[in-house]
């Protein structure tokens, strides 16, 4: 198709209306289809991208692309997301997977905004009962509060998995994998961390991966500044205290 366009056998102006119609049939959202197609035009691709990402554009810019609606509320946002999912499924993708990390942030919202956020997510899941998988990473205490207080949202969660703290074997394997990435030579955990040092890191981090890696990073930097070849409990104790 690109070669036909480059050689002038087909004009883009002839192809675009048909493309918009075909994409509209798939997405069930004509404005979304027009925005996607306008991504090929140098004059309007920025406007199309801004509309698709809900940044908001002026009426004149929308009129230039023959887009009549604005993505300015939750309902239109869900409609656009569903259109995107339908387009990806038509292209042969298995589905859309959405990962939402640090979901406990909703607890910092006002009760009204928290309720609105959870309702929007519920609406998104209801409109996409197939082809969409959502995974939330959340602190246990906040998750329990959400599950107990917002039943309409909790009823749509298919499975819960509690992440357990690392064991010393897990930590050793984790550190070993990072050493493999950082060193050109074969280096084992015992070559860098002396006996009982990993156990102290595990206790200080309470088995949390991010905190354990942070402690390891600080201790390696500190040991390097001191010119030490190994990391002992003394260095770690100074870092965590």
Put simply, whether the predicted model's pTM sits higher than 0.85 gets the answer no
Residue 164's pLDDT band (boundaries 50, 70, 90)?
Answer: confident
User: Would you state the structure tokens that stand for residue 191, as one six-digit string?
Assistant: 């070559």
Instruction: Answer yes or no: do 174 and 227 share one domain.
Output: yes
- Choose among 174, 106, 110, 166: nearest CA to 141: 106
* pLDDT tens by residue, 42-63: 899 999 999 999 988 899 999 9
237 versus 32: the higher-pLDDT residue is 32
Handedness of CA 212, 215, 218, 222 (dihedral sign): negative
Same domain, 113 and 148: yes
Q: Please give the residue range of the domain that contains residue 61.
A: 2-71
| Domains held by the chain: number | 3
What is residue 165's predicted lDDT score, i.e. its pLDDT? 86
Q: CB-based contacts of 202: which residues, under 8 Å, 6+ apart?
A: 166, 167, 168, 171, 212
Identify whether 84 is part of a domain. no
């Amino acid at each position: 198709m690109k070669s036909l366009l480059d050689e002038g056998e087909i004009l883009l102006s002839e192809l675009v209306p048909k493309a918009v119609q075909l994409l509209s049939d798939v997405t069930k959202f004509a404005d979304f289809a027009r925005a996607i197609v306008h991504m090929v035009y140098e004059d309007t691709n920025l406007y199309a991208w801004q509309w698709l990402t809900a940044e908001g554009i002026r009426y004149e810019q929308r009129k230039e692309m023959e887009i009549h609606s604005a993505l300015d509320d939750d309902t239109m946002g869900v409609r656009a997301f569903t259109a995107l999912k339908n387009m990806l499924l038509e292209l042969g993708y298995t589905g859309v997977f959405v990962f939402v990390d640090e979901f406990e942030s909703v607890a910092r919202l006002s009760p009204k905004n928290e309720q609105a956020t959870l309702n929007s997510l519920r609406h998104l899941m209801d409109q996409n009962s197939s082809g969409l998988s959502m995974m939330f990473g959340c602190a246990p205490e906040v998750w329990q509060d959400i599950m107990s207080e917002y039943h309409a949202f909790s009823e749509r969660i298919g499975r819960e998995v509690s992440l357990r703290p690392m064991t010393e074997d897990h930590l050793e394997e984790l550190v070993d994998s990072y050493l493999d990435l950082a060193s050109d030579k074969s280096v084992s955990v015992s070559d860098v961390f002396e006996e009982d040092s990993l156990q102290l890191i595990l206790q200080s981090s309470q088995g949390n991966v991010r905190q354990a890696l942070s402690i390891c990073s600080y201790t390696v930097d500190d040991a390097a500044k001191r010119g030490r070849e190994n990391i002992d409990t003394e260095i770690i104790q100074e870092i965590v205290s």
